[in-house]
Amino acid sequence: SQTIHQWPATLVQPVGSPLSLECTVEGTSNPNLYWYRQAAGRGLQLLFYSVGIGQISSEVPQNLSASRPQDRQFILSSKKLLLSDSGFYLCAWSVLGTGGRTFGSGTRLTVV
Amino acid sequence: GESVGLHLPTLSVQEGDNSIINCAYSNSASDYFIWYKQESGKGPQFIIDIRSNMDKRQGQRVTVLLNKTVKHLSLQIAATQPGDSAVYFCAETNDMRFGAGTRLTVKP
């Protein structure tokens, strides 16, 4: 069966520090991968998606970047965090042709 | 781009009552829809889906209705329980974007 792992669950980082959130998927090949951010009481904002290794599409200009070094690994990064980067970050995957996304458990990032 | 949106941001119901959560979409070419449930501090979880060649689909205590004429779908939860309290999102799967969701609160 397919599983998605996202870590850490919570993270408190000072302004100006770097960020690296990792997401891995097991049990499937060549998944579409997504990073979403969710502000408190808000919907899901798509940040990045990837249809293959090294292929990253960015939805909104921001202080973040994403990379896909391996087929089932998706990394969200920042060189210098801003206060506005605080939020709940969710990784998700889907298989081309199905559309439905399976979400990870999320990372609560607080930038102080 | 086109996106999926929600009619109501919050819904409060009594335990045992039926709940109806509504969703409007704008892409008339959409052919597959999913409802997700997101509990506090967790990622969204799949509840039920429906394809555009159907107008109704039933699961366990949940029913999704699709009206393609007015581009509207709804999620009905029968005999709502406290464990149903969560934010509910609809998603049109050709669009990777989600609406704000509806927060369902079940009062004992």
Question: What are the helix (H) ranges across chain B?
Answer: none
Q: How far apart are CA A91 and CA B72, in angstroms?
A: 28
Structure token pair of residue A63: 């202080």
- Residue A43 pLDDT > 50: yes
Q: How far apart are CA A58 and CA A53, in angstroms?
A: 15
Q: Which one has a higher pLDDT value, A39 or B45?
A: B45
Considering only CB atoms, B43 lies closest to which of A45, A94, A105, namely A105
Q: Can you give the pLDDT at residue A97? A: 60
Report CB contact under 8 Å: A98, B98: no
Burial of residue A73, with CB atoms counted within 10 A of its CB: 0-12 exposed, 13-18 middle, 19 or more buried: middle
Domains in chain A: how many in total? Answer: 1
> A–B: how many Cβ contacts below 8 A?
49
Per-residue pLDDT tens for A61-87?
678 999 999 999 999 999 999 999 999
All residues at 6 or more sequence positions from A105 whose CB lies less than 8 Å from its CB, including other chains: A6, A9, B42, B43
Of A6-20, B6-20, B89-103, which gets the smallest average pLDDT?
Answer: B89-103
In CATH, the architecture of B5-107 is Sandwich (2.60)
The alpha carbon of residue A79 is apart from the nearest alpha carbon of chain B, in Å, by: 26
Considering only CB atoms, B96 lies closest to which of A34, A102, A103, namely A34
Structure token pair of residue B1: 């781009």
Domain ranges of chain B: 5-107
CB of B98 less than 8 A from some CB of A: yes
All residues at 6 or more sequence positions from B102 whose CB lies less than 8 Å from its CB, including other chains: B6, B7, B8, B9, B10, B11, B21, B22, B87, B88
Q: How far apart are CA A73 and CA B53, in angstroms?
A: 35
Q: Can you give the pLDDT at residue B19? A: 97
Contacts of A92 in chain B (CB under 8 A): 43
Structure token pair of residue B84: 């149903």
Q: How far apart are CA A91 and CA A79, in angstroms?
A: 19
Domain of A68 in residue numbering reads as 3-111
CATH number, domain at A61?
2.60.40.10
Among B residues 25-84, those touching chain A with beta carbons less than 8 Å apart: 32, 34, 36, 41-46, 49
